[in-house]
Structure 1
Amino acid sequence: MSGLTIKDLEKLQKQLPDYPMELVDGEIIVMSPSGLESDEVAAEIVRQLGNWVRPRKLGRVAASSAGYVLPNAEEDVRAPDASFIRAERLRRTTSKYAQLVPDLMFEVKSENDTLPRLRQKIQEFLQLGTQVGVLVDPRTQTLEVYRPGVEGVEKAEILGNGDRLTVPELLPGWEMIVEEIWAPVFDED
C-alpha cells in the first residue's frame, strides 16, 4: 500500500499498538524488534546523553519509539534509535509525533539492518535539518559521524575504541567515550 498518510499510520498504530512503525514515502514500514546488543547500545547512548542534557536543561533526549514528522513532501514519520532536540526548538514536549527533525540522531546497526539503508536514513535527516547523524556499528565497534554536506562513508569521521565523540556545536563540553557504549562482557569468576 502506498500513498498512505500520517492519519493512516496513527489509525494502524491504534489497531496494532505492539508493532513499531514508520511512514516512509507513503508506505508503512513495520519495524521488527532489534537484537539485544543493538538495543543495549542505543539505551546506553540515550542514558549518557540524558545524563548530560537534562540537568543542564539543554533540550530533550528520546529513544527509538519517538516519532518525528519530517518536513519533506511525503511527511514521513521516522524514529531514530536515539535523538536530541535543543530546548529552544521544542520548549514543551508533545504526546504526538514531534513536528521537526532532531538536532542530533543516532542509528544503531542491528542484525536485520543494512549499512547502506542506515546511511541513507541519516542523509535524509541531514538534508532536512539535522546537524549531526551518527551510525553506530556494534560488530565493528565503530561510529560514522556525518554532518551536512558529508556524504559517503569515505568522508565520514570514523571513531573507534580509544576515541571520544564530541558535538561541540550542539553540546559544548559533552563527550562520549566510544568503548563505553558497547554491551559489556561479564567474565565468570
Structure 2
Amino acid sequence: MSLTVEDLEKMQQQYPDYRMELVKGNVIVMSPSGYESDEVAATMVSQLYNWVKPRKLGRITASSAGFRLPNSDLRAPDASFVLAERLRRSPKTFAQLAPDLIVEVKSPSDNVEDIRAKIQEFLSLGTKVGILLNPDEQVVEVYNVEKEVIVLHNGDVLTVPELLPGWEVPVSDLWPVEFD
C-alpha cells in the first residue's frame, strides 16, 4: 500500500516523538543520529545561518524541517538552504519545493551509499548543491548538477559560490573539537 503525505501527517500526530520521511509511498522512521554527527550538523547549520541571516539571502533549517518534493516524497535533510526569492515566508507545515542546498551528515548507523542516493534524488528534483559530511573519514563531498563530485579534506576550504558567494569554511572547522 502506497501512503501519501496526508497519511504521514496523521501518523506524525499519533507518534509526535518520531521523525519520519515519506519515500516512494513508504514511511521511513528516522532514528536519532549519533552525538558526533549531530554536533557536525549543528556546526554546519550555524555556519550557514551566520552567513545567510545578516545578508538576508534566504532560509536555513535543520533536520526537522520537511520538504514536500515535486515527486510527492517528504524528505528532511540534516541542513538546508532556500534562496529568499523562492521562499518569501516560512510555511507553517512543509515547504513545497526542493531546497537550493542540502547537507547530509553520515551518522554511525548510516550507509554512505544511501546518503549519496538521497543527495542525487534531491539534485534530480531541483536542488542545486548537495553536501555530504563524513565525520568518520573527515571528508566532505560536494555534489552539483552535471558536475564531477568535489572531495575535500582537512586543509581544504568548503565554498558554494553559486549560492553563497564569499562564504568559506575550512573543512577542519566542521569536525568536533577535542578538549585536552
Post-superposition offset of 1:184 = 1.0
Counterparts of 2:113 and 2:174 in 1: how far apart (Å)? 22
Counterparts of 1:109 and 1:3 in 2: how far apart (Å)? 28
Trace 1:105-184 onto structure 2 (pairs within 5 A). 105-150=102-147, 155-184=148-177
Post-superposition offset of 1:34 = 0.3
Match of 1:65 in 2: 64
Counterparts of 1:13 and 1:144 in 2: how far apart (Å)? 32
- Percent identity reads 62
Match of 1:97 in 2: 94
Match of 1:33 in 2: 32
Deviations 1:19-49 (A, max 9, x none): 0000001000000000000000000000010
Match of 2:82 in 1: 85
Counterparts of 1:46 and 1:95 in 2: how far apart (Å)? 20
Post-superposition offset of 1:100 = 0.4
5+ unaligned residues in a row in structure 2: which ranges? none
Aligned residue pairs total 180
Counterparts of 1:175 and 1:45 in 2: how far apart (Å)? 12
Counterparts of 2:34 and 2:177 in 1: how far apart (Å)? 15
Counterparts of 1:61 and 1:7 in 2: how far apart (Å)? 25
3-state SS of 2:59 partner: strand
Counterparts of 2:170 and 2:129 in 1: how far apart (Å)? 17
Deviations 1:148-182 (A, max 9, x none): 124xxxx4100010111111111111111110010
Counterparts of 1:93 and 1:80 in 2: how far apart (Å)? 17
Counterparts of 1:48 and 1:102 in 2: how far apart (Å)? 17
Post-superposition offset of 1:95 = 1.2
Trace 1:49-64 onto structure 2 (pairs within 5 A). 49-64=48-63
3-state SS of 2:126 partner: coil
Runs of 4 or more above 3 Å deviation = none
Counterparts of 1:101 and 1:184 in 2: how far apart (Å)? 32
5+ unaligned residues in a row in structure 1: which ranges? none
